[in-house]
Amino acid sequence: METRWDLRRPSAALAAHYRARGWWTDDTLSDLAYGGILAAASSSCRVRSRVHPFTGTVGDAGDMGRRLAGALARQGIVAGDVVAFQLPNWVEAVACVYGLLPLGAVLVPIVHIYGPKEVVHILRQSGARALITADRFGRQDYVANLEGHLSDLPDLEVVVVVPAEEGAVPELATTVLSWSQALDLGDPLDRPAAVDPDSPAIIGYTSGTTAAPKGVVHTHRTFLADQRTWSTFLAQDSSPPPDVMPKSFLTASPVAHITGLSSVLHPLFRAAPLDLIDAWDPAVVLAAMARDGVALGGGPPFFLLSLLDHPDFDPEIHLPYMARLTMGGAPVPAEVARRAIRLGISITRAYGSTEHPSTTASLHSDPPEKRNFTDGRVMSGSEIEIRDSDGRCVPNGEPGGIHTRGPELFAGYTDASLTAEAIDTEGWYDTGDTGFLDQEGYLTITDRKKDIIIRGGENISAAEVEELLSRIAGVGEVAVVSAPDARYGERGAAIVRLLPDARRFDLDAVRAHLEQSGLARQKWPEEVRFVADFPRTASGKIQKNVLRSWLRAGDGATLPFELGEC
């Protein structure tokens, strides 16, 4: 597997085991995507959007994808080249997936909320030769984000812009095509590219312990193994079917997330309909349930809560389309589970990451206390170990660091130094999370060593936000930690130690500073607090676990240091 990245492969014995069990095959996403589009061509494809709706078929999206692939091929893009896209959940995002994978391109989906700081880093580090982007969406002006940065992107040769209204294409110092121009350029792709199943297929960028997003490289084998893992796991569910069978399941997770990307590929394996929404809108979702029989399949808890709390919610109409939910992507508060139980909603929980998408999950046939209050059992093909600080496995019931491996484990990061830190010589991945296994093998997550905040399923790097906040005049030190949030699971809280004689600032000043810095709005802290000093370890390191515990305990708790709120 020769690439520009220093990727890891499991041992020969482990690889042989994966092949023998059918988790690894010689299939590629290029072949399966191309054939799957043809097989699912008549399945419906719908985008629910106030600004860019679409109603058509999977075949329509596939046709757009083949035409896009043909246009890029005419521009010199070949199998193995890196192609990125930054789009909301529009049909063009679906077309990118359906076209770029058969082309054999290495797909780099960029979350649509990312601003210029993150986007330039991703394009530069991945070496993307082409980018498909919206012109604007919400507060984001994607083309303006690129202006002035192209000199930092020597590999970028082609930009395709999806205008909200077709018209003039902005001028950039590179080849720029509108979406309609691209679809009219060249012949549609007429066959899938021949690629090595061990070669990179997808690079998903995720925020974690590092200040900049990390590029997570999945090969054709690892990503397809994830699809097989879920199919195998769900086949074990012995619970009776729901009273009302939905016509489709809504995909609200961004296509640039591993869960959203999997949802877009799902119809190609099952000939199922595809239903997306580009911005979470409870009123639109409730109307889709009532009118079109669309179900909410799951997601972070705030999806469910926003529907239950909306004035349009009618239990008789809407609860049948929420009968079964899989929650993940953010911590699931116990009260959310209890509320679901009271309403007769069966929830399961799942735990994974971009690096190891399918790690643990529960089934609707599992005991309620396991479904509702643990993060499930290890999924087919994967392994999990709970280790102490010395790397030794601990008995069930004792907490420790969570280490995993399996056929869908990523092949490495685009930054080789991060790969060496995360994956050991035996192929075990250090998730950075802590938890314990009970006697029945169900996992409970207790804390995260990774310094991230998971807000509504979106990973926010504390280090990235801290770096920018430290530039505010008067800031001596700053720690950004997670605070509990009833809707999003977590929100960011900035805790600041000021320099002597410096004046406190308010949240509006923080927002203005971060907006000027180009940081995505979803990453901004939602509260600011001040301390005379931080709780620290003997070596002087800030004890963020103490800060998080205080925030979870509420304002009535006390700490052995001064803490004030803004």
- Please write the tens of the pLDDT for every residue from 241-300: 888 899 999 999 999 999 999 999 999 988 899 999 999 999 999 999 999 999 998 888
User: Given a cut of 90, is residue 20 above it in pLDDT?
Assistant: yes
Q: Is 504 a domain residue?
A: yes
Write down the pLDDT at residue 210.
59
For residue 155, which of 97, 214, 83, 96 has the smallest C-alpha distance? 83
CATH number (domain holding residue 459): 3.30.300.30
Residue 286 resides in a domain? no
Question: Residue 509's domain spans which residues?
Answer: 452-565
In a domain, 540, yes or no: yes
Spatial neighbors of 560 by CB under 8 A, at least 6 apart, are 535
Crossing angle for the helix pair 258-270 and 91-103, nearest 10 degrees? Answer: 70
129-162 pLDDT, tens digit each = 999 999 999 888 998 888 888 888 999 999 999 9
Q: Is 386 helix (H, G, I), strand (E, B) or coil?
A: strand
Residues 316-345 have a mean pLDDT of: 88
Contact 133, 162 (CB under 8 A): yes
Q: Is 299 a domain residue?
A: no
Contact between 543 and 535 under an 8 Å Cβ cutoff? The reply is: yes
Does residue 483 lie in a domain region?
yes
What average pLDDT does this structure show over 538-555?
76
Q: Output the pLDDT for position 427.
A: 95
Residue 537: what pLDDT?
Answer: 64
Contact present, 153 and 124 (Cβ < 8 Å): yes
Task: Please state, rounded to an integer, the average pLDDT across all residues of the chain.
Answer: 90
Nearest to 529 by CA among 490, 478, 485, 487: 478
pTM: 0.85
At 4, the pLDDT band (50, 70, 90 cuts) reads confident
User: Does residue 503 belong to any structural domain of this protein?
Assistant: yes
d(Cα 331, Cα 456) in Å, to the nearest integer?
9
Residue 500 gets which letter from DSSP? T
Q: Is pLDDT above 80 for 561?
A: no
Quote the pLDDT of residue 173.
Answer: 61
Reported as a pLDDT band with limits 50, 70 and 90, residue 415 is very high
Residue 460 in any domain: the answer is yes
Q: Comparing C-alpha atoms, which of 501, 553, 506 is closest to residue 526?
A: 506
From CA 111, how far away is CA 85, in angstroms rounded? 9
Q: Is the pLDDT of residue 82 over 90?
A: yes
Mean pLDDT of 391-414: 96
Q: How many domains does the chain have?
A: 1
At residue 393, does pLDDT exceed 90? yes
Query: Stretch 21-50: mean pLDDT, rounded?
Result: 96
Q: Is residue 468 part of a domain?
A: yes
Residue 338: other Cβ atoms inside 10 A: 12
